[in-house]
Amino acid sequence: MAWCTMVMVKAPVLLKYKLSYAGREAGEQQIRYETSRKGQRMVLTADVALPLPRTKQRWVSEMDQRGVPLKFSERVEGRQNRVYQVEFLRDEGVVVTKGEPEFVLPYTTDYHDPLSLLLVLGRASEDVLTLPMVGGRVHAERMGNETLTMPWGEVEATSWRLRPGVSLVYFDASGYPLKFSQQVGEHVFEANLQEIVHEPEPEAQPKKKSRRRGGRRRRRRR
């Protein structure tokens, strides 16, 4: 896939989801798209009640202007806490992970992380994609269009099936993920979008004025 053809989601924007597991309420999730000095930043936070044990999760992806990941981090708090980080050091030719598992890979291609993957699928024109991830590949197949009933009305959505595993992701015309569906054991885990909040652009910080006055400093007469 040509990275330069990908259109970035307009940021800043906050997406709010409700989670369900086996038809029962399972918590809440948010995805925030932000701009950064190097490109774009995505932050996912989730409070997952089901399946047990209950966890709080935070994923952060730092990307360049093309949407290529520079750094990804994942923090999970629950019965056991876990922190995992990946640095994609393209100039140095390596990918470095910290946490479990911990290793160094050669940087042979532009890798994805779970959040940058959403940017790609939300704007892809292909019907089939194979996307390299750290530790494997994701095979994505476009399944066609489907009308979803959202809190604000009916929306035409494009669905993608992801493998390995059995996952479905639905996107609207703007590239926002409307729904996630994944088989977890004998039940289905879902995230359904409830609200899209377009946030104002952060104001540019005014330059600080120097307190130092120009010119030569006069000496006091004694």
- Report d(CA 163, CA 146) in Å as an integer: 20
- What pLDDT, on a 0 to 100 scale, did the predictor assign at position 195? 97
Is residue 178 in some structural domain?
Answer: yes
Is residue 75 in some structural domain?
Answer: yes
Q: What is the CATH number of the domain that holds 45?
A: 2.50.20
- What pLDDT, on a 0 to 100 scale, did the predictor assign at position 207? 52
Is residue 136 in some structural domain?
Answer: yes
Is residue 2 in some structural domain?
Answer: no
Give tens-digit pLDDT for 96-144.
Answer: 999 988 999 999 999 999 999 999 999 999 999 999 999 899 999 999 9
The amino acid at residue 68 is V
Is residue 221 in some structural domain?
Answer: no
Cα–Cα nearest to 86, from 109, 67, 61, 64: 61
- What pLDDT, on a 0 to 100 scale, did the predictor assign at position 7? 46
- Report d(CA 191, CA 26) in Å as an integer: 9
Is residue 203 in some structural domain?
Answer: no
Q: What 3 state SS string does 150-201 have?
A: ECCEEEEEEEEEEECCCEEEEECCCCCEEEEEEEECCEEEEEEEEEEEECCC
- What pLDDT, on a 0 to 100 scale, did the predictor assign at position 203? 65
Cα–Cα nearest to 191, from 182, 199, 204, 183: 182
H-state helical runs in 11-83: none
Computed over every residue of the chain, the mean pLDDT equals 88
Domain count of the fold of the chain: 1
Please give the model's pTM, rounded to 2 decimal places.
0.85
- What pLDDT, on a 0 to 100 scale, did the predictor assign at position 166? 85
Question: Is pLDDT of 13 > 50?
Answer: yes
Is residue 38 in some structural domain?
Answer: yes
The band of 24, judged by pLDDT with boundaries at 50, 70 and 90, is very high
| Domain encompassing residue 176 | 10-198
Is residue 205 in some structural domain?
Answer: no
- What pLDDT, on a 0 to 100 scale, did the predictor assign at position 215? 46
Cα–Cα nearest to 148, from 116, 181, 179: 179
- What pLDDT, on a 0 to 100 scale, did the predictor assign at position 208? 52
User: In the chain, what percentage of residues exceed pLDDT 90?
Assistant: 76
- What pLDDT, on a 0 to 100 scale, did the predictor assign at position 3? 40
Give tens-digit pLDDT for 64-84.
Answer: 999 999 999 999 999 889 999
Helix (H), strand (E) at residue 119: helix 116-123
- What pLDDT, on a 0 to 100 scale, did the predictor assign at position 100? 82
